[in-house]
């Protein structure tokens, strides 16, 4: 699906990414985790073709460099949920979600576009907000609007789509965190791929197929949750003590930070 080889990125004299290698396959939920400043969001931006690393050909999406993609077709194959969005959007909710359908029509959306936004709003539990002004929403509601926009963008007949999500759980309550991750998991269960930056390690352990742990711009560990979420690896990456035990419900690794006193 997507492969990144020897990804390096520097801003001025500060090296943010250092020789990162990764891949994400069809139907895979890959979670990128790590402490603040580890390079997670920068890596996602390089993979999504929003910024360029030193080498121009070190990211391949479906075996092609991004420069070889038609832009409209690319928008139907991949979409990105960003951590930061404009704070002042003078539109009602359904029109913000409709922005995800812009690659599909020139002037007027057709019934397929309207159905896509209706389905996406239902999936993100914002149907009751569709006539509300975006600027009147809470932070969590705005997050769900943008998730719906990204979902609407990828509602098409294209096989093997790719979704990038940069901290999609920010400002969400527990219920909507789980609903968001379940929606992403349903997306990957259809042979699509999701690469998601997460801070909650326990949610990453529960939903992700593989984990990419970043530290200081490098890959500290990469593998299945049970391979990455080990006491010595996590304590070192976060420079903070932890204990790891089986989750009593899911049997996934459960990470508990802190030391006994």
Give the CATH number for residue 35. Answer: 3.40.50.300
The boundaries of the domain holding residue 29 are 2-257
Q: Are strands 253-257 and 14-24 parallel, antiparallel or unpaired?
A: unpaired
| pLDDT tens per residue across span 93-128 | 999 999 999 999 988 999 999 999 999 999 999 999
Structure tokens that stand for 133 in this block: 């002004």
Q: From residue 20, give the alpha-carbon distance in Å to each of 58, 77, 191.
A: 10, 24, 25
Higher pLDDT pick, 55 / 230? 230
Q: Tens digit of pLDDT for each residue in 145-179?
A: 999 999 999 999 999 999 999 999 989 999 999 99
What pLDDT, on a 0 to 100 scale, did the predictor assign at position 210? 97
pLDDT of residue 261: 44
DSSP H stretches of helix in 104-222: 111-123, 139-153, 174-188, 201-207
Model pLDDT for residues 25-61, shown as the tens digit of each residue = 999 999 999 999 999 999 999 999 988 766 565 899 9
Rounded distance, CA 257 to CA 221, Å? 18
What's the average model confidence in pLDDT over 64-85? Answer: 90
pLDDT of residue 57: 57
CA angle (47, 234, 173) in 5-degree steps = 70
Average pLDDT over the chain reads 92
How many domains does the chain contain in total? 1
Whether the per-residue pLDDT at 136 is higher than 90: the answer is yes
Name the phi and psi angles at 117, rounded to 5: -75, -35
Instruction: Find out whether 228 and 222 touch, Cβ atoms under 8 Å.
Output: yes
pTM value > 0.75? yes
Q: What is the pLDDT of residue 86?
A: 77
| Confidence at 10, pLDDT banded by 50, 70, 90 | confident
Structure tokens, 121: 């709003």
């Amino acid at each position: 699906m997507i492969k990144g080889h020897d990804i390096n990125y520097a801003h001025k004299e500060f090296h943010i990414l250092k020789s990162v290698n990764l891949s994400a396959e069809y139907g895979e939920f890959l979670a990128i985790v790590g402490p603040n400043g580890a390079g997670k969001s920068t890596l996602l931006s390089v993979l999504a073709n929003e910024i360029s690393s030193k080498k121009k050909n070190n990211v391949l999406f479906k075996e092609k460099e991004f420069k070889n993609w038609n832009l409209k077709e690319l928008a139907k194959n991949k979409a990105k949920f960003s951590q930061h969005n404009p704070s002042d959007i003078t539109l009602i909710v359904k029109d913000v979600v409709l922005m995800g359908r812009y690659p599909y029509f020139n002037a007027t959306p057709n019934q397929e576009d309207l159905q896509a936004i209706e389905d996406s709003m239902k999936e993100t539990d914002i149907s009751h907000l569709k006539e509300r002004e975006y600027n009147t929403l809470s932070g969590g509601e705005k997050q769900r609007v943008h998730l719906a926009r990204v979902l609407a963008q990828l509602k098409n007949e294209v096989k093997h789509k790719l979704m990038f999500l940069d901290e999609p759980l920010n400002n969400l309550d527990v219920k909507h965190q789980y609903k968001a991750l379940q929606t992403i998991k349903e997306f990957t269960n259809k042979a699509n791929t999701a690469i998601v930056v997460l801070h909650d390690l326990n949610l990453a352990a529960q939903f992700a197929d593989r984990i990419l742990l970043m530290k200081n711009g490098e890959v500290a560990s990469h593998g299945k949750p049970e391979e990455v979420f080990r006491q010595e690896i996590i304590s070192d990456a976060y420079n903070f003590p932890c204990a790891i035990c089986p989750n009593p419900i899911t049997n996934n690794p459960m990470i508990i930070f802190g030391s006994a006193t």
